[in-house]
């Protein structure tokens, strides 16, 4: 099955969503691409709110479990490590689904790629995906992005500590092997 390639990362029209007013919306970019975007206030329970959002959108798909875990890690990082965390902060979760090439995306279950992005307000350091060796395997801290990396086909981040980061993970369905990605 040839998959619609997602160009990673795509600059968003209107700029970094977390720097503007919080928005919640769904956008269809043609028949093969569907985006959901939702802003969460930085209450402590909102990492689980973000997890439920991903679980709800991707229920019944092969992505549900991994996406829920990944969103929880990325949202937790936005709350814990950035200005998105204090009471007046917020972060934005964006889930982009694409279908097989030339196939309409009729339901989340027909998606073959999922791009998960969390936007934060910055204010601290830089997301570190490769902390290998700094922590032993029994330590809870410092492993979230390593787990995200293990689950995703690709991961990355853009942005700056001053302006905020977008941190993303790209998942592909197990049976989608694009011949010409």
Ligand X SMILES: Nc1ncnc2c1ncn2[C@@H]1O[C@H](COP(=O)(O)OP(=O)(O)O)[C@@H](O)[C@H]1O
Burial of 149 (0-12, 13-18, 19+ CB in 10 A): middle
Judged by beta carbon distances under 5 to 8 A according to partner kind, the member of ligand X, Mg ion, none in contact with residue 81 is ligand X
Decide: 24 and 40 in contact? Cβ < 8 Å: no
For position 165 contacting ligand X by CB under 6 A, the verdict is yes
Q: Within 126-165, which residues bind Mg ion (CB under 5 A)?
A: 144
What distance in Å separates the CA atoms of residue 95 and residue 116, rounded to the nearest whole number?
A: 5
Judged by beta carbon distances under 5 to 8 A according to partner kind, the member of Mg ion, ligand X, none in contact with residue 172 is none
For position 117 contacting ligand X by CB under 6 A, the verdict is no
For position 85 contacting ligand X by CB under 6 A, the verdict is no
For position 85 contacting Mg ion by CB under 5 A, the verdict is no
Residue 160 phi/psi, 5-degree rounding, is -140, 160
The single residue among 12, 143, 156, 178 that binds ligand X, judged by CB under 6 A, is: 143
């Amino acid at each position: 099955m040839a998959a619609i390639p997602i160009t990673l990362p795509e600059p968003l029209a209107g700029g970094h969503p977390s720097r503007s007013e919080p928005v919640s919306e769904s956008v269809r970019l043609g028949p093969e691409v569907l985006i959901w975007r939702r802003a969460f206030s930085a209450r402590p329970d909102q990492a689980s709110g973000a997890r439920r959002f991903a679980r709800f959108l991707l229920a019944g798909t092969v992505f549900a479990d991994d996406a829920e875990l990944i969103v929880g890690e990325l949202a937790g990082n936005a709350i814990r490590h950035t200005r998105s965390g204090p009471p007046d902060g917020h972060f934005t979760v964006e889930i982009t689904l694409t279908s097989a090439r030339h196939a309409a995306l009729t339901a989340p279950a027909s998606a073959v790629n999922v791009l998960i992005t969390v936007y934060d307000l910055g204010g601290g350091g830089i997301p570190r995906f490769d902390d290998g060796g700094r922590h032993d395997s029994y330590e809870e801290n410092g492993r979230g992005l390593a787990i995200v990396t293990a689950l995703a086909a690709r991961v990355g981040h853009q942005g700056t500590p001053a302006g905020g980061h977008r941190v993303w993970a790209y998942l592909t369905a197990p049976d989608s092997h694009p011949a010409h990605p």
